[in-house]
Amino acid sequence: MKPAFAITAAALLAPLAVVRAPAQGAGVLTGAVRDASGAVVQGARVTALFAGSQRKEIALTNKVGEFTLSPLPEGAYTLTVAKPGFALLRHEGIVLSPGQTVRLELVLNVGRIVESMEIKAEGAARPAGAPSATDAAPGRVPTGGAPAPPKVVRQTRPVYPPDCKAEGVQGAVLLTAVISKEGEPLNLKPINELVDRRLVEAAMQAVREWRWQPVLLNGQPVEVMTEIQLNFTLSQ
């Protein structure tokens, strides 16, 4: 009877070996997510996208900012990390070999914010066909999570160029800048190219005087990207 028992045990173990074999050759993506101040980011959504397919694996960072995605088949992956209040992080070109473990140290930056302002003046607008002001951009984008939202503490209104008023020129000027740790606009430049340059110059001259309360991340000031839309419109 003992030989029969041994044969039965071997038959039961064989299927288990077949099931485990792929996992032994699978790859692992692991790592940690931190913010720009070096603090860990808990609850960030980490997604591994398998190149050339719709397959994806998702994990959330734990209370110490760590994540693990496993088992993953060999191949190329793109990793994204998302967390409210932070800019989306995208890491491409990750290649996993069978049985390989790849560890990543990832840093999330504070998300972009948006400001808008209407500059109105009396005058006749240029007839249809000329550039017109777009709808106002929404207010400041919420920055939930760790980053403390910025606050404008000084906001100089642009002066509507007299010659633009006389010619009926309207337009929406979209600017981008970096809010420094001291709350000053750095690297200020226009994004849209078709708007009248006189409106752009008036907008930039005013925004250079703007000041923000520094953006805080875990109590420490950090730099953050911002977009500012200034709509120059004429009333009839």
| Residues 6 or more apart whose Cβ sits within 8 Å of residue 17 | none
What stretch of H or E contains 5? helix 2-24
Of the candidates 159, 168, 204, 166, the residue with the CA atom closest to the CA atom of residue 186: 204
Are residues 73 and 165 located together in one domain of the fold? no
Are residues 91 and 117 located together in one domain of the fold? no
Are residues 121 and 215 located together in one domain of the fold? yes
The CA distance from 97 to 87, in Å, is 30
Q: What is the mean pLDDT of the chain?
A: 77
Are residues 132 and 149 located together in one domain of the fold? yes
Are residues 231 and 149 located together in one domain of the fold? yes
Q: What is the pLDDT of residues 8-51, one digit of tens each?
A: 333 223 332 222 333 456 789 999 999 888 888 888 889 999 88
Q: Do the Cβ atoms of 100 and 28 come closer than 8 Å?
A: yes
Residues in the chain: 236
Q: Do the Cβ atoms of 217 and 103 come closer than 8 Å?
A: no
What stretch of H or E contains 80? strand 75-82
Q: What is the pLDDT of residue 95?
A: 92
Q: What is the dihedral of CA 90, 96, 99, 103, to 10 degrees?
A: -40
Residues paired with 31 in a beta bridge: 67, 104
Are residues 118 and 229 located together in one domain of the fold? yes
Q: What is the pLDDT of residue 102?
A: 94
Are residues 64 and 104 located together in one domain of the fold? yes
Are residues 123 and 57 located together in one domain of the fold? no
Domain containing 89 — which CATH number? Answer: 2.60.40.1120
Are residues 101 and 122 located together in one domain of the fold? no
3-state secondary structure of 163: helix
Are residues 117 and 230 located together in one domain of the fold? yes
DSSP letter assigned to residue 51: T
Compute the average pLDDT of residues 151-175. 90
Compute the average pLDDT of residues 155-174. 91
Q: What is the pLDDT of residues 89-126, one digit of tens each?
A: 899 999 999 889 999 999 988 876 667 778 777 766 66
What stretch of H or E contains 190? strand 185-190
Q: What is the pLDDT of residue 154?
A: 92
Six-digit token string for 17: 């070996």
Number of domains observed in the structure of the chain: 2
Are residues 222 and 124 located together in one domain of the fold? yes
Lowest mean pLDDT, pick from 42-46, 145-149, 195-199: 145-149
**Which domain does 12 fall in, by range?**
2-108
Q: What percent of the chain has pLDDT over 90?
A: 29
